[in-house]
Chains A and B, each alone.
Chain A
Amino acid sequence: MADMQVDILIIGAGPAGLAAAIAAREDGIESILVLEREKEPGGILRQCIHNGFGLHRFEEELTGPEYALRDICRARELDIEIQCGTTVLSVSPDRVVTCVSPETGFRRIQAKAVILAMGCRERPRGALCTPGTRCAGIYSAGTAQRFVNLEGFMPGRRVVILGSGDIGLIMARRMTLQGAKVLACVEIMPYSSGLNRNIVQCLQDYDIPLYLSHTVTDIRGKERLEGVTVSRVDDRRNPVPGTEIDFECDTLLLSCGLIPENELSLGAGVQLSPATSGAIVNDSFETSVPGIFACGNVLHVHDLVDHVSNESFRAGHAAAAFVRSVPGEASFISVEDGDGVRGTVPQKIRRNADANVSLMFRPAAVYRNSTAVVSCGDRVIMKKKAMIYTPGEMAVLELKKEQIQSMEGDSITVRIERS
């Protein structure tokens, strides 16, 4: 038996959960509850103190905490209940959510709709197979970001960064500005997945060398890290003997990508996509389990929080519509990844979609002057040419609802064509 009933229960009060809650309340849903395990809402943005957020949504460059604050204030205006310090332990397929908090203890809440907005986490060291000893001084870049920006202490003084994703680049600058020496940023691929802006303003501004096609091949130290060895890699990413460079350092930061946090989703029986590691959803962001929705980084890893908010507004509206009506049997068009395309979301579109649908995907490689093509069998539905498609930037194609309603086949394919 449930201790409590709500219309919409949202897990996570990051930008995704907040936007979904705001949209649902604006649609007139009274009974909304947001559960957040941290002591404050805002999600990962609380620790992203650098600027560059919100250019698309607010046409203004905000820092992470400022961006989060706008949604938090709006949620307060709308009197949305956010319970912090509350960790969700499980979600059942019939939408009973189990959670625990110091104040209220253990509770079971029955929801008419659940929105999963748990965000993502960083790939841990184990998943990277870095060699060498297991000493202290090795952190994920996001953990270091949390230490410095939220807890106010520096994890080390001489730093090497493995991986050149944006979080690693941002941390190279932060550690430097807060007084550490960053010796190198090491990237196994021949290109960085970080933004040009971050390469220039986080590395070049501080003369931090970027070693492309290199990786860490040895880690030394007994209790605390004492040094690492970096080697060049060949085309197959195997280290080339004789190219070793030694660095004396007390800290190694790992910035090797993010993975959606889907333990709860799996427990609820939600089907995941191998391409995104997030739920398989339709154009209303509903997962394979009726009434359970997903949005934000738990669905697929975004690079821009503006996209997270947009997607989550749509998910919130969709959950509100679900609570209101008894949906009939829908028929779907499936969305397939074609050449050069990975992880298109949504994976299914309702044939009778009532709004435009954004198809979001990651290009599989760098394509210059190329065209993204959506086709249904032999028929091309839309094309979008761009000067560049790159894995570092999520691509978005907007399908009009009229285009969807007039589709005949059972599936469409998204691909990139080199010109």
Chain B
Amino acid sequence: MEQVITCINCPVGCRMTVHLSDAGEFLSVTGNTCPRGARYARQECTMPERMITAVIPVEGSACPLSVKTATPVPKKMIRDVMAALSSVRVSLPVSAGDVILHDVLGTGSDIIATRNLP
């Protein structure tokens, strides 16, 4: 199986062809100019991950709270994580770095506040 992806690590934007086994295991990559591209290709084609940032409404505050996942989570879980966030209740005050939700959906990643809300 072959997959064509663009490397996102620098503005050169190499177009890389990734060769995968039928079971989806990474075999090889061509088209990258440097090792960073190869590392990204392997990750992106086998276990793509993303940081998620979002805002959640807070009762008693006109301004919503901005949050992020402490570490990247599997890309296919983005929608689920957003859904989990929509039912979170936050009480004031909040400081940047506070954990808002532990281990969201078993991903091992906490949701943490990225700003202060007094």
Contact = CB atoms under 8 A, between A and B. Distances in A.
Interface of A: 46, 49-51, 61, 63, 65-66, 69, 148-152, 177-178, 195-197, 199-201, 205, 368, 387-388, 390, 392-393
B7 A196 contact: yes
Interface stretch (B18-26, B53-61, B101-109): B53-61
B78 to A, nearest CB: 7
Given A69-B96, A178-B55, 13 more contacts: A49-B55, A49-B114, A63-B114, A65-B96, A65-B115, A148-B55, A195-B8, A196-B8, A200-B8, A201-B50, A387-B12, A392-B11, A393-B11
A388 B9 CA distance: 13
Contacts of A387: 10, 12, 33
Contacts of A388: 10-13
Interface in B1-38: 5-13, 33
Count chain A CB atoms within 10 A of each CB in B7, B51, B53 and give the residue with the most: B53
A63 B114 CA distance: 7
Interface in B42-91: 50-55, 57, 62-64, 66, 68, 75, 78, 82
Interface residues of B, number: 29
Count chain A CB atoms within 10 A of each CB in B11, B50, B116 and give the residue with the most: B11
A149 B50 contact: no
B68 A51 contact: yes
B4 to A, nearest CB: 12
Contact of A201 (B8, B9, B55): B8
A169 to B, nearest CB: 12
Contacts of A150: 63-64
Contacts of B12: 368, 387-388
Interface of B: 5-13, 33, 50-55, 57, 62-64, 66, 68, 75, 78, 82, 96, 114-116
Given A51-B68, A196-B13, A205-B78, A66 B55 contact: no
A149 B64 contact: yes
Contact of B57 (A49, A152, A177, A393): A152
Nearest to A393: B11
A228 B26 CA distance: 43
B60 to A, nearest CB: 12
Count chain A CB atoms within 10 A of each CB in B52, B115, B116 and give the residue with the most: B115
Contacts of B6: 196, 199-200
11 contacts: A49-B114, A51-B51, A66-B96, A150-B64, A152-B55, A152-B62, A177-B52, A197-B9, A201-B50, A387-B10, A390-B11
Contacts of A63: 53, 66, 68, 114
A50 B69 CA distance: 11
